[in-house]
Every structure is written in C-alpha cells, then in structure tokens.
Structure 1
Amino acid sequence: MNIYLRTDSSLSIGSGHVIRCLNLAKVLRKSGAQCVFISKNHRGSIIDKIIQEGFSTKIITIDNTPDAYIRDEKFWLNGSQSDDALQFISLIEEQDQHPDIIIVDHYSLDKEWEEIVKKRFSSARLVVIDDLCNRPHFCDLLIDQTYQRRPEEYASLNENNGLVLAGTKFALLNPLFAGLRNQSIACKEKVDYPKTLMLTMGGVDAHNITGKVLEYLAQAAFKNIDKITVILGSAFPHRYEIYALAAKSNYNVEVLTNVTNMAELMLEHDFAIGALGGTTWERCTMALPAVNIAIADNQLTIAKNLSNTGAIVLYADNFNKDEFVNAVQHLFERYHEQRILVTDICDGLGLFRDIQEIIPVPAKDGINVTLRLATQEDINFVYQLQCEPHTRKFARNPDIPSFGNHVVWMTRKLNDDKSQFYIIEHGSSCGVLRLDPIRHASAKYEISIFLTASVQGKGVASAAIKRTLILHNGDTILATVLPENYASHQLFERLGFIKISPDEYISEKK
C-alpha cells in the first residue's frame, strides 16, 4: 500500500503538522504501508526530522522563503494551490507508484488543491487533517482533533460528503503516550503539591513566549518549584536567550532541545506550562495539569473550549505578570481538580481509531469493520455473547459460565497488559476478538473470535481478522479450530493462514 503525505513546517507554520503526520506515518508503516512525505523547504522547516525517522522525502523547492513570521495561515504555502498540486502530482508520478492513500495536513490548502489531486488520482483515498473548520474540502475522510469539535460543523464545507472524525478521541498522538498513561495517572494522584515543571511552547515559538515565561517565573520566585525543564524545538530561533535566562535563574533549570522522549518527561513532571498545539493532547493523555497558552490564531478555538471547561488558559498576545502568577497559583491550589479535568479530555488512542478509517476493511454490505479496546462497561455485552448457543457450540468449554465467574475472568483479561481484548464493531458492537499471548514455536498470539447471531454470514468475522492482521502486522497469530467447525476452517484457509496441524493455523509472516 502506497501512501503519500503532503505537509509543511516553517517559522510561521511551526512543526506540529509534520509531527502529527510522522506519528500517523509510523503507525501506518508498522501496518505494512510504504509512506512518502512531500514537503516544501520553508525557512525553519524540520524536513531533516522526517528523513531521520526513515521516511522517503521529496522536496517542493522554493527559492524565496520569508524571514518574518506570517500570521495569516492562508499565506503559509508561499505559492499558489494549483501550482503546489501540480508539483505534488509530478513528484508522485516520478515514483512510478500509484497512490492508494493521499494525506494532506496544511492550513493553506483546501478544495482547490484537493480537487486537482483527486481528479488525477481518482482511485486514491484522500484524507484531510484540519483544525480550523473554515474552508471547503473535497475529500473522502477528514480528521479534526480539536477539543469539542463536532462532525456537523463541517456540513457546509464537506463538498465530497466525506466521513468526518472530530474531537480529541481522534488526536494523532504517538502511541507511547497511551502506553504510559496509566502509570502517569498513578504518579500524579500521589502528588501533594507540584514541584517539577515542564515548559514547552511548541517546536518554533517564534515570539519567544518561553523567555517571557522564564522571566515571570524568576520574578514570582515560587518556593515549591524544585526543577524546571525547558523543551525547545530544533527550529527555535531564540535558544541563546533561553540558555542565558536558565544560567542566571534562581531555579534549577534544564534546557533540552529536540527531545525524543516527551512521554517519559511528562511522566516525570508534576505540571506544565505549554502552548495549545498538539502537545496539549499529549499532556491530557498523561494527566499533566497545565497553564495553557494560546500562541497563534489557529489555537483560539481550542483555547475557548478548554477555558469554558475549566482548564487554565492564557493568551500570548496580552498576558502580563500578574495574570501569569495568578494562573500558576490557581493550578497549585486546584491541582487535583485540574488533573482530573485534563485526564478526561484525551485518552491517547486516536491513531488506533484513525487508521481503521483511513484503511477501511468492509464486510459484505460495505460497512467498515473496526476494533476497539474492551472496557469494564462491556462486561454485560460480552456475557450475553458468551451465553448465545452458537458461541458455546464451538467453545473449548461448552458450559455457560456463571456471571460472577465471567466478571472475574474478564476483569483479569482487561488488566493483562500482554493480552489484546477487542470489541468488534460493524455499525454497532457485534462481537469479540481476543489475542492472548502463548508459548508457541511459531506464533506470538492465539486468536479467539465470536459474534452475535445477527451478523453471522455477513463477512464480519473475515473483516475483523483482516483488520487484526493490519493492526498486528509482523505478529504471527495462531488459530485453533475444533474439527467439526467447518466454517472456521474455511475462513482461516481463505484468509491465507497456513495449516500446521489438523486443528491449527498460523498467519503468514510479512
């Protein structure tokens, strides 16, 4: 599967668009896709980071790149949409690999660019990533991770009637954050009074809000702060000013540049002061309370929605020392209230949800079949499935478990970090698929799958297993099938599993 991503970074754009596209591309690569980035060489770009992550990268060259910060995102492209689209198409055609999926994440591009590209590559699935909801689009899928965004807000802008994934449920975060979420929640619950501060104002911070915050912190002289860790992006233009401020600070200040372990750093710190970019949702996933600062016009919707919810928000254009000190003191005094508030905003599983819509796996009726992680709220649903006659017919244990035993069993499974317990969705919840770790010479997991009677024969089982092979590309999976279960024998053979014994099949390694 060939995927092309069109995104930019610069002193004006920042680095967030590239970072979230990298997060997405790494998950898609793990699922077996070949991803190629196409980007312009704006001043302050982080194209080198894309290359360092091992992705093929093609450059749309521009000769004159402005030194000054450009506030209006419509002019961030440094050229026309039509020219950009034609150059994009030309670079793809040079590869001689027709795109299966095209992903575009750019505030300067809209319907004009998308229609040109879609006309040339009509069979490719066109995915748009947006936050602004302020211009028309012509795409198959649109992802907007803005907090409290609703799909219907795009009704008048969605000119191809594409599927809209809206809200922080679909935030494009590195899976490492979700992996450390529970540990970070447990750490923050034990904080008596916050002592360690993370300061991160985005990848560029062209107006040096970082320096302003460090000066205000020095003037306030908070006695409870033991350490401040300042995170700078590789394109940050004021780094020497920050080094000077750190050297003379009355706090213990460490300055880090271009970090690769942000999730671990958030785990280690009690609170943050940060810009309202993609890192906002990383902080929420890690239960890290923050003083949030809107540093660009495109962050104003997020700022308003967070502020209305009760989160602490300042605006870079006009906050003064007193407002800043009051905001920090407010966080100290209501630390656990703020911790609980941000924890509920984002769970960090957005990429897991996004790729299942980016790469559809339909049942026979054309409805996309997806997997979601099971929770305690699914206990009753799973028990009902366990009690259905056709489920017991081919189970290793044909007896229906008691509800009490079922609760104990499922709770144990949900708490087992090594097992994958999924609910199959086909419009609504319709089945269970589990991957349990096993000691086997040829396989990592053993698969178990059962569906409600209402979706039997609709190709849902086949689609769910295909979905599993995409999400767990590279993991060999064992299926054990009772001799009399003829339908399942045919299913696994049809899906390319290799028969290794009369009742065992393993997935092919890719």
Structure 2
Amino acid sequence: MKLFIRVDASTQIGTGHVMRCLALAQAWQDAGGQVVFVMATEAPDLKTRLNAEGMEVIHLPIQIGSAEDAKETAKLARQFNANWVVVDGYNFGAKYQEIIKESDLKLLFIDDYGHAEYYYADVVLNQDIYAHENLYMQREPYTKLLLGINYALLRREFSQYQREQKTHPLIVKKLLVTLGGSDLNNLTLKVINALKLLELSNLEVLVVVGGSNPHYEKLQVASQHLQFPIYFHRNVQNMPNLMAWSDIAISASGSTIWELAFMGLPSLILILADNQASNAKKLGEMRLIYNLGEGKDIAPIVIANALKKLMLATKERTEMARLCQNLVDGQGSRRVLNQILHSM
C-alpha cells in the first residue's frame, strides 16, 4: 500500500500541516504501507526527519494549489501506484480536489474551517473541536466526513506513549514554551520578555524552537540575563518526554493543543493565526486551557500575570489536566487509518 501526501511547510506556512500528516503517515507505516511526501516548498529539517522515518520526499517546484500543481501531483501519484492521496493546506480548493478525483485516485482532504467552495474528496477530515457538518454542505454524495477530536492526528511518540495521571505540585517549577514550528512573529521572544518580569528564582524553562524558526540566535541573546535557567531544544522528536517533565506550558493554539491535552499539561495558549482562534476560544470556554488571545496584540506583562495566576492555582490546574486527558485519547490517527482502509 502506498500513501501519497501533498503538503507544504515554510516560515510563512508553518510546520503544523506536515506534522499532522506525519502522524497519519506513521499509522500507515505501522499497517505495513509506504509513504511519499510531495512538497513545493524547501524544508530541509523536515525532509531530514521524514527521510529518517523511512519516507520519501519529492520536491515539486510549482505554484501551490494551482491546476498544474494538482495535475502534477496526480501524475506522480499514478506513477507511484498510490492507493490514496492526502492533501493538507489552505491553498488547495475545490478545483484541486476535482482534478485529483478525475485522475481516478482516492482522496483524503484535511481541512480546518471549510475553506473550499465545494468538496470532491472521498473523505474530509476536520479534527478540531468546533468541526460540524454545516461546514461541508457543498460536497459530493459519496464524501465521508470525519469530524472532531476523536480524529485528532497525534504522532507515534504520543499514540504509543504510556501516559499517567499527572501530579500537580503546589509550586510550579518547570515551564515548557512551544510556539510552533516557525513562529514568524517571534512570540517566543515576547514570552521570554514576560518571564523577565517574574520575581522567581526556582523556575526552570524549556523552550522548543521549531526547525523553521529564524529567530534562534535572538532568543539565545534575550535569555542570557534571566534569573533562572532556560534551555533551548531544536527539531524536537521527544515532545511527550518534555511535556511529562513540565508542570505547565505556554503554547500556540495549533495542533500542539491536542498533544498538551493528551499529556494532561495545563497550558496558557496564544493564538498565532486566524485559523487557530476558534479552537482556543472553545477550549477556553470549556476551561480546558487558559486562552490569552491574539499573541501579536498581547503585552508581556499580561502573559506574566496570567502565568503567575495559573502557577498558584493548583486546583484549577489539576481539573484542567483531568478534563483534557478525558478529551483526547491519542487514537485519532488509528481511527482515520481504519476509515481509509475500509474505503479501499
């Protein structure tokens, strides 16, 4: 069995689309299949990781989402005798899907907010908490919808992780900061500036810096005079261990929120892009996270005050973790895979 995945990553696009496709690709491998990624963007660090996972990466220098893109993708998929094509990204619309389907290929379309005018895919996957059928009224009769957190795509390091009920100390001593694979607006620096406002000495901080983040050196310089130790990790592949180590997190509102929920890690969430707002708002209303709102608009002092408040609220952190672990069980990738296999 061969799975063909058309997805992109860059400083502007971020890495989230690739990382959730990687989760599905790993599940496909675990079922005995082979995976080929096709990307129009250059992402050396991601390519290295995908290759290390035993997956082939083809670079297709083409206008993303164009009709030519769809035709070339379909042509390559047929050459590789692919069973299914997976497409993930906001530049892929109705016409793109139609071209893939006209090439007699099975298509899984990963979506977040119903951005396409019409859906021709065999399966549409929206893993977000607010996903509902009304987003996809304009679709083919055969199009199957996989909606909601039961289908959250978590990578193998999470789905195979033997999580435990997290204990929550009275005094928070370990903080994880993870603001996406690229962090185009360098909100990590804003968080570091917020940490400088904390009058604490018994705190340790781990900062995860994505492979597409261009601000690494600036972050190191900015952290030199903090009153507590701060450690930087790049191109991380052991996120469950880092989350298990942490007492609390500051995170972007992308797919990482499902990983944090699975691990039961109480989190302050910053919205980095418009498409992240609905998840953050809904989860905040459910008291599963502490939603800080738009990252680019928030002042460091607001982040610092919110962090201090949550650090002191042991009961609230414990309840957040319990609710989160009940919400995400880590088996979403397997469920999506089973739906694909049953449609073959």
Same fold, TM-score > 0.5, yes or no: yes
Amino acid at match of 2:130: Q
Match of 1:233 in 2: 210
- For the Cα contact (< 8 Å) 1:128–1:143, is it kept in 2? yes
Match of 1:328 in 2: 307
Counterpart CA distance in 2 for 1:316 and 1:61 is: 32
User: Among residues 305, 324, 329, which one is paired with 1:342 in the alignment?
Assistant: 324
Counterpart CA distance in 1 for 2:112 and 2:65 is: 21
Amino acid at match of 2:97: E
Shift of 1:46: 3.0
User: Among residues 163, 179, 188, which one is paired with 1:201 in the alignment?
Assistant: 179
Match of 2:268 in 1: 291
Shift of 1:91: 2.5
SS in structure 2 opposite 1:331?
A: helix
Match of 1:74 in 2: none
Match of 2:296 in 1: 317
- For the Cα contact (< 8 Å) 2:150–2:331, is it kept in 1? yes
Matches within 5 A, 1:76-225: 78-93=63-78, 95=79, 97-120=80-103, 122=104, 124-135=105-116, 136-150=118-132, 152-180=133-161, 182-183=163-164, 185=165, 188-223=166-201, 225=202
- For the Cα contact (< 8 Å) 2:268–2:290, is it kept in 1? yes
Shift of 1:110: 1.7
Cα gap change, 1:49 to 1:178, in 2 (>3 Å): closer
SS in structure 2 opposite 1:138?
A: coil
Amino acid at match of 2:325: T
Deviations 1:77-128 (A, max 9, x none): x4452011112123234x3x322111111111021101101101x2x32111
Residue 246 in structure 1 maps to residue 226 in structure 2: no
Shift of 1:202: 0.7
SS in structure 1 opposite 2:25?
A: helix
TM-score (norm 2): 0.92
Shift of 1:165: 1.1
SS in structure 1 opposite 2:327?
A: coil
Unaligned runs of 5+ in 2: none
Deviations 1:163-220 (A, max 9, x none): 111111111101332443532x2xx225233210000001100111001101111112
Q: Indicate the structure whose relative CO is greater, using CA pairs within 8 Å and at least 6 residues apart.
A: 2
Cα gap change, 1:80 to 1:128, in 2 (>3 Å): closer
- For the Cα contact (< 8 Å) 1:145–1:171, is it kept in 2? yes
Deviations 1:291-345 (A, max 9, x none): 0111011111112211221221122121113321232133221321322232233
Residue 10 in structure 1 maps to residue 10 in structure 2: yes
User: Among residues 223, 232, 237, which one is paired with 1:255 in the alignment?
Assistant: 232
Question: Radius of gyration: which is bigger?
Answer: 1
User: Among residues 235, 253, 259, which one is paired with 1:276 in the alignment?
Assistant: 253
Aligned length: 338
Amino acid at match of 1:111: A
- For the Cα contact (< 8 Å) 1:4–1:101, is it kept in 2? yes
Shift of 1:38: 1.0
Match of 2:282 in 1: 305
Deviations 1:438-460 (A, max 9, x none): xxxxxxxxxxxxxxxxxxxxxxx
Counterpart CA distance in 2 for 1:353 and 1:137 is: 21
Counterpart CA distance in 1 for 2:233 and 2:17 is: 21
- For the Cα contact (< 8 Å) 1:4–1:37, is it kept in 2? yes
Amino acid at match of 1:201: L
Match of 2:55 in 1: 55
Identity of aligned residues (%): 28
Counterpart CA distance in 2 for 1:130 and 1:19 is: 14
Deviations 1:396-429 (A, max 9, x none): xxxxxxxxxxxxxxxxxxxxxxxxxxxxxxxxxx
SS in structure 1 opposite 2:296?
A: coil
